[in-house]
Amino acid sequence: MSDATITAARRSPLSAEASSLGGVTLTPGAPLLRLILRGAEAAEAADTAFGADLPRRPNRSATAGERAALWLGPDEWLLLAPESDAASLPASLASALAQAPHALVNVSHRQTAILVSGSGVEPLLNAFVPLELTEAAFPVGMATRTIFEKAEIVLWRTGSAAFHIEVWRSFAPYVWELLEAVRRENAAN
């Protein structure tokens, strides 16, 4: 078996294509590099290595180019970056953090993204998310772990009428289909 090769093809758990209906666009997110960083003492070193200052304020995000750091807890961040960073960023972060106690875990394959946008986005999400989603209560740049019916998600507001949902792969069809069902219902009314 010495000539065996391992190939890991990335397949989206979502078979649907991007589509718009009733003022809401649903888009399966493109593959991303996703890292979970744990360790409050590592944040400072990570700021420079990642290129965006990890938010210290609860439930906030920071972006730099195509990279984003989302606060999940006082010593926990979700780092998102384009897949083209997959070969270099984990290693450069790990070496920058070598002197600080931390855990850096690559969760790129664990979860996927669903992008939801359009004028009807708040009532659609509020069919399943128990948080107040007005812009005053949940401004652009806010990000948090929460629940979506029975699934745990990370909800990140990327624009006035645009949200990025991070969801574990096995829950992605469930979240997508619930969004789709309510989107159709809202469009029919």
Partner 1 sequence: MLLIRCPVCEMDRPELEFRYGGEAHIARPLDPSKVSDEEWADFLYFRTNPKGLHVERWRHTAGCGRFFNAVRHTVTDRFVTTYKSGEPRPDLEALARKLESAR
Instruction: State in angstroms the smallest separation of the CB of 73 from partner 1.
Output: 4
* 69-98: contacts with partner 1 (CB under 8 A): 72-74, 76
Q: For residues 58 and 101, which CB has a smaller minimum distance to partner 1 in the complex? A: 58
Q: Name the region of 187 (left: φ>0; alpha: ψ -120 to 50; beta: rest).
A: alpha
Q: For residues 65 and 74, which CB has a smaller minimum distance to partner 1 in the complex? A: 74
The CA distance from 137 to 126, in Å, is 13
* 37-66: contacts with partner 1 (CB under 8 A): 58-59
Instruction: State in angstroms the smallest separation of the CB of 133 from partner 1.
Output: 12
114 bridge partner residues: 28, 165
Q: For residues 96 and 168, which CB has a smaller minimum distance to partner 1 in the complex? A: 168
Sign of the torsion formed by the C-alpha atoms of 13, 176, 89 and 35: negative
Nearest to 154 by CA among 162, 166, 164: 166
Q: For residues 58 and 159, which CB has a smaller minimum distance to partner 1 in the complex? A: 58
Instruction: State in angstroms the smallest separation of the CB of 130 from partner 1.
Output: 4
Which amino acid appears at position 49 of this protein? A
Residue 123 as a binder of partner 1 (CB under 8 A): the answer is no
The CA distance from 83 to 4, in Å, is 26
* 127-186: contacts with partner 1 (CB under 8 A): 130-131, 144-147, 152
The answer to whether the beta carbons of residues 42 and 102 sit under 8 Å apart is yes
The CA distance from 26 to 114, in Å, is 7
Span from 5-13, 45-53, 68-76, 107-115 in contact with partner 1 (CB under 8 A): 68-76
For residue 26, give the 3-state DSSP assignment: strand
Q: For residues 135 and 152, which CB has a smaller minimum distance to partner 1 in the complex? A: 152
The CA distance from 116 to 124, in Å, is 9
Q: How many residues bind partner 1 (CB under 8 A)?
A: 13
User: Under the rule (CB under 8 A), what is the footprint of partner 1?
Assistant: 58-59, 72-74, 76, 130-131, 144-147, 152
